[in-house]
Chains A and B, each alone.
Chain A
Amino acid sequence: MPAAGFILEKIKQGEALKKAFEINRAEITDIIKDSGLKGRGGAGFPTGLKMYLCGAAADTVKYVVCNADEGEPGTFKDRVILETIPEKVFEGMTITAYVIGSREGIVYLRGEYAYLKSELENVLKEMRKNNMLGENILGKGFSFDIRIALGAGAYVCGEETALIESLEGKRGEAKNKPPFPVSSGLFGHPTLVSNVETFCNIPHIVDKGSLWFKNMGSGKSTGTKLISVSGDVKKPGVYEITFGMKVKDLLKLAGAEETKAVDIGGASGIIIPELQFEREISFEDIPTGGSIIVFDKTRKMADIMENFMEFFLDESCGQCTPCREGTKYFVDAVEKIKNRKITEQDLKNLRDISDCMKITSKCGLGQASTNAFISILDNFKDELLS
C-alpha cells in the first residue's frame, strides 16, 4: 500500500503557491498536463486540459469551483480531506485560479457536511490573515478569494452542470453539454469545476514536478487515488493506493474475509465477483471516484440491487423521461426478482431498457443508474433466478 501516500499529509503551506508565482501560467498548465493528472471525482477528465481550456477562454470573470458534493454511496474520502487538510484544497484552488485568471473560488459543500462549514471558514480566515488569500496574495499582485456555498441534499448536484445551476440559486437540474463549463459556466462565465481530491494533487505536482507524479501509478493512470472502503471489512476507512492495485490486495489491506462481491464506484459503479478480484483499480481497468463497498458471503445480491435502485429512483431529478421512468421500472423489476417472478424475457427487456437509458438520459445519473443492476445480472444471474 501507500508507499507513495502523500495526499492526506500536511504540507508547508504556501510553498507550492510561491513556486507557482515564479513560473509562468502556461508552464504550470504544461506541468499539470504532462503529469497526466485526471479528475478524481470519477469522470477522469484530464485536469491540465481543463486548465488550458478555461485559461484560454476570453473573459474577465472566471470561477474556480471545488466540487465537494460527495454523494456517491460509499464515498467519504473528500470528507476526510476536508476534515484533515482543507488548506491544501484551498491552495490547489488558488494555484488553479492564478493559472486561469480567476478572482473568485467557491466550494460547493454538500448539505450533509454542513457541520464542516464553520471550521472550513476558520481556515479561510486564517489564510486571509496570512495573505494566502484575498488582495495581492503574498505581494505578487494576484487577488483571489474563496467562499463556501452549502448544498441542500441533492445527489445530482455532484454533476457539474447541475452544481452550477444550484450555485445560481436554481433547481439543480443538469444541462445539455456543450457548452461546457470551461467556456460557459457559472452565470455564463468560464468555470473550472474539479473534485476536492484533484485540487489536493496540484500543490504537490507544482512543487515536485510532473516526472515525480508520473512515476507513480500504471499506464495512463498516474499518481495515487484515495479509496473509501466500507461494508464487510475489519478496517473500514480511507486508503491511498497507487493506480494499478489489484482489488484482492486492497481487500487484504482492509481486512476483508469471506468476500462474495465488491462494489467499485458506488451505486453508479459495478459489482464484481471473486473471480474478478485480480482486476486493477485504474482508468484502464476499473475506474472509480473512490468508493469500494465489500459484501461477504451472507449478503443477498437482490438486496444490494434493491438498495441502489431505490437510491436512483429517489435521486432522479425527473426532468428527462428515460431516467425518471427507467429507474421506476428497475425498482419494480427488483421486486419481481425478490418475489421469484422474473422471467428470462423480463431480463432481456431490462437490458434493452438499460441500454436505452445509457444513450438517452440527459446526465450521468440516468446513464449510470443501471450499472450495478446489470453487473449483478452479469455476474450473479444464477442466484437471482434460483
Chain B
Amino acid sequence: MTVLSKISKKEIINELDNILSGVSLDRGNLLCVLESLVGKFGYLNDTMAVEVGRRFSMDPNEVYSVASFYAFLPVKKSGKYKIRVCRTISCKLKNADGIVKAIEEEIGVKFGNTTKDMRFTLERANCLGMCDKAPAMLINDKVYTELTPEKAKEIIKSYKNK
C-alpha cells in the first residue's frame, strides 16, 4: 500500500481487475472486495463506489450505503495507517486514555483526525477482544497489547518510515 494524495481512476480500475480476478461477482463477495480496496488505498471514494457498482450491477449509492455501515470501511479520506485504540471498559481501566494522549502527542493530531501527510488516522475502537492484555490497539490489521504510553510512542515511531 502506498501513501496517495490522489487516487487515479486508472489505478482503481487496475486494482479492481486484480481483486476480481479470483472472485466471482456474487453480491456475497461485496464486503470482501471493499475490504481489499480499503487494504490497498486506505479508504473508499466515489470513483470506487461507481466502479464496484458497475461490476456488481449495483447502484453506486447502494455500494456507498453498505460501506458506510461498517466502521472498518471508511468512506472519507483516511490515513495509510489506521490506529484504533480500544475505548471499551477493560482497556479504559488500564489507562487507554493515556495511550490515546501519548499517540496524539507523537503524531501531532487529535483523536478522530488524520495527519497532513496522510500517514496516520487516529480512531477509537470498541472492544478489540484483547481485554486480558489491556490496553490494546490495532494498526490496520496488526494488534498491539499491554501498552504503556512509552511503548505506544515507540510503535508509532516504527511506522513513520514504513
Interface residues of A, Cβ cutoff 8 Å to B: 70-76, 78-79, 110-115, 149-155, 166-173, 187, 228-232, 236-238, 263, 266-267, 293, 295, 299, 303-304, 307-308, 310-311, 314-315, 317
Of all chain B residues, which has the CB nearest A299? B93
Partner of B132, one of A230, A266, A311: A230
Count chain A CB atoms within 10 A of each CB in B32, B69, B141, B143 and give the residue with the most.
B69
Give per-residue flags for B17-47: 1 if the beta carbon is below 8 A from chain A beta carbons, else 0. Answer: 0000000001111111011000000000000
Known contacts A74-B131, A307-B89, A315-B126; is-contact A112 B138 (Cβ 8 Å): yes
Known contacts A74-B127, A112-B138; is-contact A170 B90 (Cβ 8 Å): no
Partner of B89, one of A71, A150, A168, A308: A308
A-B pair count, CB < 8 Å, reads: 127
B108 on the interface (CB 8 Å rule)?
no
Known contacts A73-B89, A187-B28, A307-B92; is-contact A228 B66 (Cβ 8 Å): no
Q: Are B142 and A115 in contact (CB under 8 A)?
A: yes
Partner of A76, one of B27, B65, B93, B131: B131
Interface of chain A: mostly helix, strand, loop or mixed: mixed
Give, as a whole number of angstroms, the nearest-CB distance from B90 to chain A: 4
Give per-residue flags for B124-142: 1 if the beta carbon is below 8 A from chain A beta carbons, else 0. Answer: 0111111111100010011
CA–CA, A145 to B88, complex, Å? 36
Which residues does chain B contribute within 8 Å of A166, judged by CB atoms? 31
Q: Are B90 and A230 in contact (CB under 8 A)?
A: yes
Partner of B126, one of A73, A149, A232: A73
Q: Are B126 and A171 in contact (CB under 8 A)?
A: no
Q: Are B128 and A112 in contact (CB under 8 A)?
A: yes
Which residues does chain A contribute within 8 Å of B72, judged by CB atoms? 111, 151-153
B73 on the interface (CB 8 Å rule)?
yes
CA–CA, A110 to B87, complex, Å? 17
CA–CA, A167 to B128, complex, Å? 21
Give per-residue flags for B35-74: 1 if the beta carbon is below 8 A from chain A beta carbons, else 0. Answer: 1000000000000000000000000000001100111110
CA–CA, A196 to B117, complex, Å? 41
Give, as a whole number of angstroms, the nearest-CB distance from A117 to chain B: 8
Q: Are B70 and A153 in contact (CB under 8 A)?
A: yes
Give, as a whole number of angstroms, the nearest-CB distance from B14 to chain A: 23
Q: Are A307 and B131 in contact (CB under 8 A)?
A: no
Count chain B CB atoms within 10 A of each CB in A70, A79, A303 and give the residue with the most.
A79
Partner of B66, one of A70, A153, A169, A237: A169
Give, as a whole number of angstroms, the nearest-CB distance from B135 to chain A: 11
Q: Are A229 and B132 in contact (CB under 8 A)?
A: yes
Q: Are B32 and A149 in contact (CB under 8 A)?
A: yes
Give, as a whole number of angstroms, the nearest-CB distance from A105 to chain B: 14
CB contact list, B108-162 vs A, under 8 A: 125-134, 138, 141-143
Which residues does chain B contribute within 8 Å of A76, judged by CB atoms? 129-132
Of all chain B residues, which has the CB nearest A115? B141
Which residues does chain A contribute within 8 Å of B93, judged by CB atoms? 231-232, 295, 299
Q: Are B127 and A152 in contact (CB under 8 A)?
A: no
Q: Are B129 and A152 in contact (CB under 8 A)?
A: no
Of all chain A residues, which has the CB nearest B131? A230
Q: Are A169 and B132 in contact (CB under 8 A)?
A: no
Q: Are A168 and B69 in contact (CB under 8 A)?
A: no
Give, as a whole number of angstroms, the nearest-CB distance from A175 to chain B: 14
Besides the contacts A76-B129, A111-B72, A263-B89, what 4 more A-B pairs have beta carbons closer than 8 Å? Answer: A75-B131, A230-B134, A236-B131, A311-B88
Q: Are A73 and B70 in contact (CB under 8 A)?
A: no
Name 21 A/B residue pairs within 8 A (Cβ), A-sorted: A72-B127, A73-B90, A73-B131, A75-B129, A111-B70, A111-B71, A152-B31, A152-B70, A152-B71, A154-B69, A169-B28, A170-B66, A171-B66, A236-B131, A236-B133, A263-B89, A295-B93, A303-B92, A304-B89, A307-B89, A315-B126
CA–CA, A171 to B30, complex, Å? 11
Give, as a whole number of angstroms, the nearest-CB distance from A87 to chain B: 20
Count chain B CB atoms within 10 A of each CB in A172, A307, A315 and give the residue with the most.
A307
Give, as a whole number of angstroms, the nearest-CB distance from A90 to chain B: 20
